[in-house]
C-alpha cells in the first residue's frame, strides 16, 4: 500500500505553481503508479484561475470544495463539491474560482498515448 497526504515529506516537497493561478502538490507519481501519470492536489484562491491550457493526456478534475467555472473547449459550466470533470486528450481547459473560499481539487491524469 502507498499512503500519501499533504504532510508527507515527499508530497510537501513537491509544491509547485499550477498553471499560473494556484498551488499544487503531487500526491502520487509514476514512481507509485503503473497505468496512470499522477494524482495531484491543487488549491485555487478566490478570484484566481488555472490558466487555460492543453495537455497531451486525459485528465479528470474532481472538485473537493469551493465554487468555480470550468471550461473544456467551448463548453463552460459552474462546478462545485462532488463534481468530476472529464478532460479529453488535447482539449483546452481552464478553471476559475468564482467563490469567496479556496477552490480545492484533485487532478487525475492518464498515460500519454504511446508513452
Q: Which DSSP string corresponds to 1-47?
A: -----TTSHHHHHT-EEETTTEEEEEEE-TTT-SSEEEEEEEEE-TT
Report the topology of domain 9-105.
Answer: Jelly Rolls (2.60.120)
Per-residue pLDDT reduced to its tens digit, 96-106: 999 999 999 99
Name the residue ranges covered by the structural domains of the chain.
Answer: 9-105
Per-residue pLDDT reduced to its tens digit, 51-66: 999 999 999 999 999 9
Q: What are the strands of the beta sheet with 92-97, ordered from one edge?
A: 49-54, 92-97, 68-72, 75-79
pLDDT of residue 28: 95
pLDDT of residue 112: 64
Per-residue pLDDT reduced to its tens digit, 9-45: 999 999 999 988 899 999 999 888 988 999 999 999 9
- The helix/strand/coil state of 98 is coil
pTM exceeding 0.85: yes
Amino acid at each position: 500500500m502507498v499512503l500519501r497526504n499533504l504532510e508527507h515529506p515527499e508530497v510537501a516537497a513537491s509544491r509547485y505553481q499550477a498553471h499560473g493561478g494556484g498551488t499544487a502538490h503531487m500526491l502520487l507519481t509514476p514512481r507509485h503508479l503503473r497505468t496512470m501519470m499522477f494524482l495531484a492536489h491543487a488549491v485555487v484562491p478566490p478570484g484566481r484561475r488555472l490558466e487555460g491550457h492543453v495537455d497531451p493526456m486525459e485528465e479528470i478534475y474532481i472538485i473537493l470544495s469551493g465554487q468555480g467555472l470550468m471550461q473544456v473547449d467551448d463548453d463552460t459550466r459552474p462546478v462545485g463539491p462532488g463534481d468530476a470533470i472529464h478532460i479529453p486528450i488535447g482539449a483546452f481547459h481552464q478553471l476559475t474560482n468564482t467563490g469567496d473560499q479556496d477552490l480545492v481539487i484533485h487532478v487525475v491524469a492518464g498515460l500519454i498515448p504511446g508513452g
